[in-house]
């Protein structure tokens, strides 16, 4: 017996009529668990009172196992992850097909098993189910050949995620647009929360934005391989847009509209989830280096020669240079890089007011860009006016900022 939405007969004394009203009631639900020939192990439940609502819970890794069995692809399995697959590329191609599935046909067949007399009940008024997505998860697994590598790396990833990622970073991971200043908009009324949770399998870190989240956890340790999983969960799609025609006009003009829960927008939900998970992993990837912070930043404290000119030493712990490093390492610059005017917006939020002041600010930023290029922290993208962090620059800056944003207690514990 569980709460349900169903109809009740209401006697309207004023109108002298009997009316149907949608009410919250309690009724019997039937749970079904079975091994589906295509989707693998899944479960579904059906409400035994009209309108006989159905909820299906399926897992893409279960589905992938069936696909690989059909393709004759060898693999090893641990729960719902795969520490080893003979051909990773082929397995990925198989999984990509899941997004292109004929969902009405697939889910309709499940509904028919749950309620074999559906057509008989609705014979006078034929109607099919409208399928919507209550909650979706998109996971990317990173597999390590040696378990000790993941065991040594994972605590550092947790520490980095908790001490470095702020509210603005979490919002960008989940696709929210922020101003170039990097500040959370004042009109934002939601809540951003990051936390750690100890589970039986290990520790997971999770960053929530309203009903959506990104998280990281070590999924499996086996002799064949060990799995680190990053995952995006979407439950609220109000802030996500999809390029589609107006509802009810499939041949109408295309424009950006709010994403629907219906499976018609499932492709966009998958795309947004994949991008969010990749952004999160990209932000964590800078902790791959095993070198100490001293080894990474030692060379920054020495003057450098660049294009026959002398570049001064960097002082990462001084306020001015620290602000510069924080600015160029912002999450919004990870994919497309940054320009001179992007940094001007960060350091000079107020309008210049006149042309000489605008040129002075541009020259000030140009000198800082030359300084960073001389120390090998950034490089210019060919054919553009954009810059990006180099691999070494990202490692060094991440090490500096992580140390600066950690408390003494955290540093002592890490030591």
pLDDT in tens, 366-378: 999 999 999 989 9
As annotated, the residues of the chain forming the CATH 3.30.530 domain(s) are 132-288
pLDDT value at residue 285:
83
The mean of the pLDDT values for the chain is 88
Q: Among all chains, which residue has been given the structure tokens 């020495």?
A: 302
> At residue 77, does pLDDT exceed 60?
yes
C-alpha 285/C-alpha 287 separation (Å) is 5
CA-to-CA separations, 237 to 107, 111, 179, 183, 234, in angstroms, rounded: 22, 25, 21, 22, 7
CATH class, 293-414 region:
mainly alpha
Cα separation of 380 and 373, whole Å? 8
Q: In the chain, which segments carry CATH 1.10.10?
A: 293-414
For the residues 215-235, what does the mean pLDDT come to? Answer: 93
- Predicted confidence (pLDDT) at residue 47 exceeds the cutoff of 90: yes
Residue where the block lists tokens 């889910």: 107
Torsion of CA 356, 357, 359, 362, to 10 degrees: 180
Please state the pTM of the whole predicted model.
0.70
pLDDT band at 95 (very low <50, low <70, confident <90, very high): very high
- Residues 6+ positions from 401 with CB-CB distance below 8 Å: 164, 325, 326, 329
CATH architecture of 132-288: 2-Layer Sandwich (3.30)
Task: Note the pLDDT of residue 270.
Answer: 93
Model pLDDT for residues 318-347, shown as the tens digit of each residue: 888 989 998 998 877 877 789 999 999 999
Residue 191 confidence (pLDDT) = 86
Q: pLDDT per residue over 139-188, tens digit each? A: 999 999 999 999 888 988 888 888 888 888 888 888 887 776 667 777 88
Query: Residue 178: which residues within 8 A CB-CB, separation 6 or more?
Result: 168, 171, 172, 184, 185, 332
Q: Tally the C-alpha atoms within 13 A of residue 97's C-alpha that lie toward its C-beta.
A: 12
Residue 300, pLDDT > 90, answer no
Average pLDDT over residues 257-284: 91
DSSP alpha helix (H) spans, 101-143: 103-114, 118-121
Task: Please tell me the least confidently modeled range out of 141-155, 261-275, 277-291, 381-395.
Answer: 277-291
Q: Which pLDDT does position 415 carry in this prediction?
A: 61
What is the pLDDT, as a whole number, of residue 412?
Answer: 65
Average pLDDT over residues 233-254: 87
| Distance from C-alpha of 284 to C-alpha of 278, rounded to nearest angstrom | 10
């Amino acid at each position: 017996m569980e709460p349900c939405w169903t109809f009740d007969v209401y006697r309207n004394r004023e109108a002298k009529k009997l009316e149907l009203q949608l009410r919250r009631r309690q009724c019997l639900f039937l749970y079904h668990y079975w091994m589906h020939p295509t989707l693998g192990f899944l479960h579904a439940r059906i409400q035994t009172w009209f309108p006989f609502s159905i909820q299906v819970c399926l897992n893409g890794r279960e589905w992938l196992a069936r696909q690989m069995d059909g393709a004759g692809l060898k693999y090893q399995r641990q729960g719902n992850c795969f520490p080893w697959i003979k051909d990773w590329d082929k397995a990925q191609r198989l999984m990509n097909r899941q997004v292109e599935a004929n969902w009405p046909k697939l889910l309709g067949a499940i509904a028919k098993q749950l309620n074999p007399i559906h057509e008989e009940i609705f014979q006078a008024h034929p109607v099919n189910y409208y399928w919507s997505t209550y909650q979706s998860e998109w996971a990317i697994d990173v597999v390590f050949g040696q378990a000790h590598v993941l065991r040594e790396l994972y605590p550092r990833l947790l520490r980095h995620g908790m001490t470095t990622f702020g509210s603005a970073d979490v919002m960008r991971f989940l696709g929210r647009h922020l101003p170039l200043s990097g500040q959370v908009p004042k009109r934002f009324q939601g809540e951003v929360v990051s936390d750690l949770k100890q589970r039986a399998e290990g520790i997971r870190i999770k960053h929530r934005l309203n009903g959506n989240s990104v998280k990281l956890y070590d999924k499996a340790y086996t002799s064949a391989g060990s799995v680190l999983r990053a995952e995006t969960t979407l439950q609220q799609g109000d802030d996500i847009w999809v390029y589609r025609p107006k509802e009810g006009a499939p041949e109408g003009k295309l424009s950006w509209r709010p994403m629907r829960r219906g499976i018609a927008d499932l492709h966009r939900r998958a795309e947004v989830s994949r991008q969010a998970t990749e952004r999160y992993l990209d932000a964590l990837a800078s902790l791959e280096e095993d070198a100490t912070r001293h080894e990474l930043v030692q060379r920054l404290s020495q003057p450098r020669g660049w294009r026959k000119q002398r570049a001064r030493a960097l002082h990462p712990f001084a306020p001015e240079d620290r602000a510069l490093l924080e600015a160029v390492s912002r999450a919004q610059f990870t994919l497309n890089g940054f320009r001179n005017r992007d940094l001007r917006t960060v350091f000079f939020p107020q309008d210049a007011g006149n042309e000489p002041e605008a040129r002075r600010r541009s020259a000030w930023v140009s000198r800082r860009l030359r300084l960073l290029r001389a120390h090998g922290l950034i490089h210019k993208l060919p054919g553009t006016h954009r810059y990006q962090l180099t691999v070494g620059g990202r490692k060094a800056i991440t090490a500096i900022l992580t140390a600066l944003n950690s408390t003494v207690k955290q540093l002592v514990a890490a030591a």
